[in-house]
């Protein structure tokens, strides 16, 4: 069937979208346009715009189709990154980031995995979704790793070149979207204002529609919010406190992503049956414990723990996708995933400045990581008691 080719294309799209050549140099590039306050404005504006667009773009994907949504995502990402790379002033950079790159990211969020799941479902092969997600995660991590290192060198040729390279690869991804095939189960709905509102309501109803989903969603939102703070902010601050240079940070995360990619690819293919709900809990427990002992380790152990956290973050995201997709109807799949992403990111978007001040008040990232890890571990174990396997999860 033609729809089967979606899976192969999805691997390339995952790689292309995450070709983050700017991984190790974005902060230095932003500082060319202002001070730390300017960087904070750019970053907070980006998070806010992504959150604002998360739900409507998810509904758009469910109503208009994942193929069109992904085409728009790569088009906006490509144009946005190229414009960022040639920006001549702060506001050109900000508009390129907020109105192009962030909106493109919102269109991409949840759309690719929803397309993959529905493609597999139309082939009656939903049982291999976890393996495919592992492959998509590996492609994402390998792209970040390879492109991050290349981008570090390209920055010295021209500061905006890493963004331009990311943009060019995304435009190639846009062309690849033309070969996607829309699963037939998604073609029976028409876009309308009434349908748009109904679609968004349907996404939240899916997340909180019954007692099991309410428990599962609460766990995923709370632990996911903790994870967002760790991987968006805390890991970078810890790296600085442990004495890593900018180049060292880039290499550390690139190597960690490279190794984590192998874990994402091969673990789902092992002849071991993973309980996805238990994997969610174990992943967050491991991340929490590595944070708890942060004040008593050195630079090299921190590097190993960073690798461990990235590996288990990938396992957590893959397991999260499996349990949500297996409990969601196709007609609201992308909206539901976007709704979950929104709920996870809201705490960081609204409280980022307060958290930064709290880290300073607590004596630095190492001290903060200790108490943050304790809170994360406690809530993971407490909320994890209610997310046992759902007997009706196979009906989605």
Q: For residues 311 and 132, what is the distance between their CA atoms, to the nearest angstrom?
A: 17
**Do 175 and 194 form a contact (C-beta atoms < 8 A)?**
no
pLDDT of residue 334: 66
Q: Could you tell me the pTM of the whole model?
A: 0.69
CB 235 within 8 A of CB 285: no
Q: Is the confidence at residue 101, as pLDDT, over 90? A: yes
Burial class (CB in 10 A: 0-12, 13-18, 19+), 236: middle
* pLDDT above 90 as % of the chain: 29
Give the Cα separation of 51 and 134 in Å (integer): 26
Dump pLDDT digits (tens) for 228-252: 888 877 887 787 788 877 677 778 8
State the average pLDDT over residues 91-108. 93
Quote the mean pLDDT of the chain: 82
Ordered DSSP codes for 134-182: HHHHHHHHHHHHHHHHHHHHHHHH-TTHHHHHHHHHHHHHHHHGGG---
- Cα of 14 vs its chain's centroid, Å: 11
Q: What is the CA 234 to chain-centroid distance, rounded?
A: 16
User: Residue 256: its pLDDT value, please?
Assistant: 80
**Does 361 score more than 50 pLDDT?**
yes
Decide if 128 contacts 120 (C-beta within 8 A): yes
The pLDDT of residue 272 is above 60: no
d(CA 67, CA 373): 40
The mean per-residue pLDDT over the stretch 196-204 comes to 67
Q: How far apart are CA 365 and CA 211, in angstroms?
A: 37
Choice between 148 and 71, residue whose per-residue pLDDT is larger: 71
**Residue 199, pLDDT score:** 59
Q: Identify the DSSP state of 98.
A: I
- 229, exposed or middle or buried, with CB in 10 Å at 0-12, 13-18, 19+? middle
Res 19 pLDDT > 80? yes
Per-residue pLDDT tens over the stretch 136-163: 888 888 898 899 888 878 888 999 999 9
CB 70 within 8 A of CB 12: no
Question: Taking a C-beta distance cutoff of 8 angstroms, is the pair 96, 193 a contact?
Answer: no
* pLDDT confidence bin for 122, thresholds 50/70/90: confident
Contacts of 395 (CB under 8 A, 6+ apart): none
Supply the pLDDT for residue 60: 77
Q: Is the pLDDT of residue 268 over 70?
A: no
What is the distance between the alpha carbons of residues 113 and 336, in angstroms, rounded to a whole number?
A: 12
Kindly report the backbone phi and psi dihedral angles of residue 136, in degrees, each rounded to the nearest multiple of 5, phi listed first.
Answer: -65, -40
Tell me the average pLDDT across 166-177: 97
* Residue-range domains of the chain with CATH: 2-395 (1.20.1250.20)
pLDDT score of 267 more than 70: no
- What CA–CA distance (Å, rounded) separates 372 from 234? 10
Residue 188 pLDDT exceeds 50: no
CA gap 11, 22 in Å, rounded = 21
Torsion of CA 20, 26, 27, 29, to 10 degrees: 170
Greatest Cα pair distance in the chain: 59
């Amino acid at each position: 069937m033609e729809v089967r080719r979606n899976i192969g294309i999805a691997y390339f799209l995952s790689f292309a979208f995450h070709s983050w050549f700017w991984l190790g140099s974005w902060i230095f590039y932003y500082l060319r346009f202002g001070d730390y306050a300017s960087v904070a404005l750019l970053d907070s504006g980006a998070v806010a715009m992504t959150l604002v667009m998360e739900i409507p773009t998810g509904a758009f994907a469910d109503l208009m189709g994942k193929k069109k949504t992904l085409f728009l995502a790569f088009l906006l990402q490509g144009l946005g990154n190229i414009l960022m790379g040639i920006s001549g002033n702060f506001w050109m950079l900000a508009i390129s980031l907020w109105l192009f790159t962030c909106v493109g990211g919102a269109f991409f969020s949840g759309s690719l995995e929803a397309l993959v799941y529905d493609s597999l479902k139309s082939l009656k092969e939903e049982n291999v979704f976890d393996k495919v997600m592992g492959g998509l995660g590996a492609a994402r991590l390998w792209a970040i790793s390879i492109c991050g290192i290349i981008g570090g060198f390209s920055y010295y040729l021209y500061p905006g070149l890493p963004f331009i390279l990311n943009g060019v690869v995304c435009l190639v991804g846009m062309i690849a979207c033309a070969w996607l095939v829309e699963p037939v189960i998604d073609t029976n709905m028409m876009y309308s204002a009434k349908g748009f509102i109904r679609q968004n309501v349907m996404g939240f109803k899916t997340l909180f529609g019954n007692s099991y989903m309410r428990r599962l969603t609460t766990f995923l939102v709370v632990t996911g919010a903790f994870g967002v703070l760790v991987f968006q902010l805390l890991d970078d601050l810890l790296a600085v406190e442990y004495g890593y240079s900018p180049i060292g940070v880039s290499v550390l995360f690139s190597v960690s992503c490279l190794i984590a990619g192998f874990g994402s690819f091969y673990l789902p293919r092992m002849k071991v049956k993973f309980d996805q709900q238990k994997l969610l809990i174990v992943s967050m427990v491991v991340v929490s414990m590595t944070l708890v002992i942060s004040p008593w380790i050195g630079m090299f152990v921190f590097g190993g723990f960073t690798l461990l956290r990235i590996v288990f973050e990938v396992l957590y995201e893959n397991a999260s996708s499996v349990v949500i997709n297996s409990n969601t109807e196709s007609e609201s799949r992308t909206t539901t995933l976007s709704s979950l992403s929104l709920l996870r990111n809201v705490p960081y978007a609204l409280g980022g400045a307060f958290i930064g001040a709290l880290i300073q008040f607590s004596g630095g990232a190492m001290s903060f990581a200790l108490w943050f890890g304790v809170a994360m571990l406690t809530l993971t174990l407490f909320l994890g008691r209610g997310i046992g396997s759902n007997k009706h999860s196979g009906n989605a």
